[in-house]
Chains A and B, each alone.
Chain A
């Protein structure tokens, strides 16, 4: 320590060989400083904080297994006749890309395993990114100062879908070929430039001989590079902001409570990488994924029942399925001024995804504008303590799930022995009413949970022990909470609607009025946290129920 501050002090000389190497590096890169900064950095511990790590680790697994696959894969669409060891395809005409994918599966030792590792971790990657984003949304972790990191995360979600889709198409099998053809159909529906984009992507007409090579380049170079860049930005901001934490005793917006990076958190996070890898390996060893040998080589004539994209594109495919192409005898596709407007493809392909992603990107600013909340938040909201946000999130989630389910409408029909057409009719209805129901139900559930919290905070936990009092009354004994547990239930903010305020000119403008209305909508239904005074009152009554009832009716400004 003193060596750096006083120049006259003798230079540090390491005693061991390892020490000398460390010192050599340290003198040149300044590792000691970094270690001092980060070595004991505190990270809060909660299972729901791990999904980002799952995503990061599955990305690492993707890089490792993907590199292996590139050594054997040949992205050429030249024609060849299969000569590998899988007899049901012997001598069948196919592209070199498909043939080399089969060779990876059947003639390269461990190739099938690596293919399955790669594909399972791809599905897991997008899934964990999604769950991570749901966690961030429902706990309000996107609020200041983390809005930009939310945007970076959203970009990562889109990039992960792009990485998945470009990879899905590479083996040039029948399933992915038909998937590409659907993409081509969707692109062609774009007004003015659709046909151009399609010809540029495929190097001419579909399928052409270029597209696999082009997707390959995107899949192994451009998209992963962008993902890496975004991950670096994402993690850099995590370091700048420090992690959020759940509310609880001793935790506030000014501190971060958890385990130090070294040793506990580093051990857990590092160990967790091996755990994720192990789970992926188990799946890859025991469960088939993307059995390309079943699908056969791509040929524009055949198609298989159950042609679906991988799950993360499913919601777009489902939306395509739900859209009616004709209403009565009226065709949704229109010819205006001699040009074709394929609304039956354009609307479902662009509108729902557009709405979902736009709202997702904008949400931190939407909420900020409504609540006029410019403070930093490092303590998370429990989802129940932000009922309207939670309800908005669930409405979006249900909307997504309806479209998602629609992508499997044929399998729903065959597995539950219902009519395919009825499944579509139901899902069309749910597309509109599902989010509304989800919003109402979620909000009511959140408020009910808040009331439950209040009751427990004021009267303690139900013990299940029934006691008969001397005068004959039966009561259930409630065990009072200790102050730490109670603080967990009462230590949250419960903002009330913020009425319209005049601006600098002393005028309440229209926008401000709209904001006030939204604020009213956001916060009008609320259950305020219990207060010490109420606890006092509840103890006064000692076990009587009236206190809760009156407390509830006072504090809940229900409609």
Chain B
């Protein structure tokens, strides 16, 4: 009996350990990604493109094909522009770890210089959105207008507080806290994966600047009411009141009705 019950504890312990491990790695990811601060550099030399071409052949051509013309495992990159490469490689989404519904954000596999060279190479293949200028990333726009644009164009996928949300069949829109201004801008102009493209004719550069201002402002502000419980809305609030709220109250009721020794 005793031995059996001890054995039964083992799988649980393993799961707990696994969860702890996941939490730790998740935390590390979060730290690693916030360190990645963006510096807008838009000029490419011929040498950059050449070096980038070598890196591309060695790391990307398996899926995207030689000359980035695409294969059945990956799309053609001709004309996607430097911004797309800078976003995908800079946020660690590319190279992908494995094929799946969606590429996950992870620590960047290439350093800043290599990312720059790769961008230069892909930009040389055909015209596309370039890496944004610094002044649209300064966070000095109109936050209220940005908020309005964000709610109309972005909140349905990314959640009104930019906490992320679900898409179909395992895909999802990620949370936007901790994402650099440059990467937010690049995502809007290039429409990575299933995100629609928000070209300048849809939301102009000033509008994008406002959106970034809004996002950075609510991120810096935090919630005036205390811990935000993930900003996930009524589900996390309900979960909290049932587990923490009622839990604490039940603890009090047990104390209240117990006999004092």
Contact = CB atoms under 8 A, between A and B. Distances in A.
Do A and B touch, yes or no (CB under 8 Å, in the complex)? yes
Contact of A294 (B152, B160, B172, B236): B160
A305 B225 contact: no
A302 B235 contact: no
Interface string A279-322: 11011011111110111100101111111111100100000000
B225 A291 contact: yes
Interface size class, chain A: 35 or more
A287 B222 CA distance: 12
Query: A interface, by DSSP: helix, strand, loop or mixed?
Result: helix
A50 B258 CA distance: 13
Contact of B155 (A280, A302, A417): A302
A128 interface: yes
B165 A296 contact: no
Given A88-B217, A92-B144, A410-B166, A308 B159 contact: no
Interface in A241-280: 268, 271-272, 275-276, 279-280
A92 B257 contact: no
B15 to A, nearest CB: 13
B234 A309 contact: yes
Interface stretch (A59-67, A191-199, A205-213, A418-426): A418-426
Nearest to B238: A311
Given A127-B241, A411-B235, A285 B224 contact: no
B184 to A, nearest CB: 16
Interface stretch (A116-124, A355-363, A542-550): A116-124
Nearest to B248: A279
Given A288-B225, A414-B172, A420-B170, A305 B165 contact: yes
Across chains A and B, which 6 residue pairs bring their CB atoms closest together, nearest first?
A305-B165, A311-B238, A288-B225, A304-B160, A410-B166, A419-B170
A299 B144 contact: no
Contacts, number: 201
Query: B interface, by DSSP: helix, strand, loop or mixed?
Result: helix
A305 B238 contact: no
Interface of B: 101, 143-144, 146-148, 151-152, 155-161, 163-170, 172-173, 214, 217-218, 221, 223-229, 231-242, 244-246, 248-250, 252-254, 256-257
Nearest to A417: B170
B245 A413 contact: no
A48 B229 CA distance: 28
A381 interface: no
B147 A296 contact: yes
B241 A311 contact: yes
Contact of A123 (B146, B151, B238): B238
Nearest to A310: B234
Of A120, A131, A289, A305, the most chain B CB neighbours within 10 A belong to A305
Contacts of B242: 127, 311
A306 B232 contact: yes
A91 B151 CA distance: 15
Interface string A480-507: 0000000000000000000000000000
A421 B168 contact: yes
A285 B227 CA distance: 9
A414 B166 contact: yes
A413 B172 contact: yes
